[in-house]
Chain A
Amino acid sequence: DSHIQYERVGADVTMKCGSMDWDAAVTWTANGTDIDESHLNGSYLILKNVDLSQSGQYSCYEGSSWHLKYQTYLRVGTPPKEPVLMCRSNNYPKGFYCSWHLPTPTYIPNSFNISVIHGTKDMVCEKDAIPKNRCHIRYIQLFSTVKYKVTLTVTNALGKNFTTLTFDEFAIVKPDPPESVVAKPVPNNPRRLEVSWQNPSSWPDPESFPLKFFLRYRPLILDQWQHVELSDGTSHTITDAYAGKEYIIQVAAKDNDIGTWSDWSVAVHATPWTEEPKHLTTEAQITETTSASTSSFMAPPTTKICDKGAVVGSGAVAVCWTAGLVVAAYSVLFI
């Protein structure tokens, strides 16, 4: 017969060869490889101070007939440590979710059980399909002063552990970061950048539960951030940018009345508008001269590879440069 056997790391393990007598002649294999007789005590297999690498299939065969007499799958692991539990409402006032993980792996299967109590009422935490270490709860009541108590128990074949969180309805409200952050220069304004963003799509009712925002920005060459808090609207114009310097910009969100700030949004980069050098602003007219002795400057044609314009999304940097940006005067002497 074959079964699974769970043992703790560091334990001493004795395996019997099924119903065989102690003094029977047997051969043990581990994952198909014969085990040296030094590990045997009669027909018993002795594994001392087992480690993770000793997990595997152990089989015992009768000495002469090589009949399989016993088989087991040894899983070496550890009992669970106290799990890490987090609960958050990113879709207030619909509900909240709790997610968890173990601080260190156990190397054997674990099962998790979560209970949520509000006052005296048990609430159902519906498990999410993905990720599997998460469940969500719909609020039945709003504006309650009664705390929620969430207990997560993790169990495996070698032991169990648990953790408990107690919190107020308001305390766990934390929106997702703003989305679609866009930053663009303002034409003819060398110190301005126009920033816009959208409410996180997970926030169900921004009209009734408006968000406020925190914007931070700095030139790439400096470490110090500037901050602006905005109580309404989803756009802002930065008016004190350093001319010509590339900026990094992020936005965070918070319910207007309760909870905590979201994480920062994905960073966007933008550079304020700068005036083009005059002799390169248009496609230069190349004039030919047939003069015998002239020094002539021939401006190369200008080609913009891309427009200085909006930069969207995940930290990408749009660099706009003009082909033929050599501003050197050639003196050509024709004789």
Chain B
Amino acid sequence: MAAADSPSTALRRRDLCSRGIRLAGKMRADVADLLDAYVEQQGLDASASVAAVEGVPLAAVERWDEQTGTQRLLENLAAYRAFRALLAQMLEEQREQLGEADAGLGRALAAVLLQVSAFAYHLEELLRLESRGIPGEEGDGPPPPPRLSLFEQKLRGLGVLRELAQWAVRSVRDLRQLAKPSPATGAAPGLAESP
């Protein structure tokens, strides 16, 4: 049976979760704005269905309420690392294709990329607090995507941003679960688990 958290650990976790919730909330709002701008400037239909994009982590999860704290942190971290790379690719494509024409969109993309990076770091902090090893990043990111047409790139970008928006909501929920004290041990639910 795992030992109860020290008060300082519990406080630190609560503090990190609260800040993480605020970060995720801000990120969600900015992703929503970015999505609107992206749809408009790329000439897309906001209601268009986009097939699952290879390499984009899906926020959809079954039995979400049964996940342990560690599972939540690890899945979130893997997702935001993937988004970091995907957004960097989108930014690069944006700059190549459109130059200065959509500087505003480029800036918005860069701002969200920064928030995604910050949130990934925040998740690493939470994992360190739980004395969990931080999984290494696989290689230098996702493999280069197959050469896509401009329209396919735009649709892929739409898929990336939509999924990121879902993740931002999920992350807020995950961190709230993490912040809940466990009644028996005082630790966050799912984190004080046997190895």
Chain A residues in the interface with B (C-beta under 8 A): 93, 140-147, 170, 207-210, 257-258
Interface residues of B in 8-26 (CB under 8 A from A): 25
Q: A207-B180, A258-B169 are in contact. Are A140 and B162 (CB under 8 A)?
A: no
Question: Least Cβ distance of B51 to chain A in Å?
Answer: 10
Question: Least Cβ distance of B96 to chain A in Å?
Answer: 27
A144 to B167 CA separation, bound complex (whole angstroms): 9
Partner of A209, one of B25, B58, B62, B173: B173
Give the number of chain B interface residues (Cβ < 8 Å).
21
**Cβ contacts under 8 Å, A257 to chain B:** 25, 28, 169, 172-173
Question: Least Cβ distance of A49 to chain B in Å?
Answer: 46
A144 in contact with B169 (CB, 8 Å)? no
Question: Least Cβ distance of B157 to chain A in Å?
Answer: 14
Question: Least Cβ distance of A284 to chain B in Å?
Answer: 58
B169 in contact with A170 (CB, 8 Å)? yes
A257 to B22 CA separation, bound complex (whole angstroms): 12
A147 to B49 CA separation, bound complex (whole angstroms): 9
Question: Least Cβ distance of A264 to chain B in Å?
Answer: 26
Does chain A have a CB within 8 A of B59? yes
**Cβ contacts under 8 Å, B49 to chain A:** 147
Does chain A have a CB within 8 A of B89? no
Partner of B170, one of A143, A147, A208: A143
Does chain A have a CB within 8 A of B70? no
A146 in contact with B60 (CB, 8 Å)? yes
A-B contact pairs, 26 of them (CB 8 A): A93-B64, A93-B65, A141-B62, A142-B60, A142-B170, A143-B60, A143-B61, A143-B64, A143-B166, A143-B167, A143-B170, A144-B59, A144-B166, A145-B162, A145-B166, A147-B49, A207-B176, A207-B180, A208-B176, A208-B177, A208-B180, A209-B173, A210-B176, A257-B25, A257-B172, A258-B169
A5 to B49 CA separation, bound complex (whole angstroms): 46
Q: A93-B64, A208-B177 are in contact. Are A143 and B59 (CB under 8 A)?
A: yes
B59 in contact with A145 (CB, 8 Å)? yes
A142 in contact with B163 (CB, 8 Å)? no
Chain B: interface secondary structure?
helix
Question: Least Cβ distance of A205 to chain B in Å?
Answer: 8
Chain B residues in the interface with A (C-beta under 8 A): 25, 28, 49, 58-62, 64-65, 162-163, 166-167, 169-170, 172-173, 176-177, 180
A141 to B67 CA separation, bound complex (whole angstroms): 13
A141 to B59 CA separation, bound complex (whole angstroms): 10
**Cβ contacts under 8 Å, A146 to chain B:** 60
A208 to B175 CA separation, bound complex (whole angstroms): 9
From A145, A170, A258, name the one whose CB has the most chain B CB atoms within 10 angstroms: A145
A145 to B169 CA separation, bound complex (whole angstroms): 12
Task: Output the nearest chain B residue to A141 by Cβ-Cβ distance.
Answer: B60
**Cβ contacts under 8 Å, B173 to chain A:** 143, 208-209, 257
**Cβ contacts under 8 Å, A144 to chain B:** 58-60, 166
B64 in contact with A142 (CB, 8 Å)? yes
A140 in contact with B62 (CB, 8 Å)? yes
Task: Output the nearest chain A residue to B56 by Cβ-Cβ distance.
Answer: A145
Question: Least Cβ distance of A216 to chain B in Å?
Answer: 25
A170 to B173 CA separation, bound complex (whole angstroms): 13
**Cβ contacts under 8 Å, B64 to chain A:** 93, 142-143
**Cβ contacts under 8 Å, B166 to chain A:** 143-145
Question: Least Cβ distance of A142 to chain B in Å?
Answer: 5
A141 to B61 CA separation, bound complex (whole angstroms): 5
A147 to B48 CA separation, bound complex (whole angstroms): 11
**Cβ contacts under 8 Å, B176 to chain A:** 207-210
A142 to B64 CA separation, bound complex (whole angstroms): 7
* Given A208-B173, A209-B176: 6 more A-B contacts, CB < 8 Å: A93-B64, A142-B170, A143-B166, A145-B59, A145-B60, A208-B177
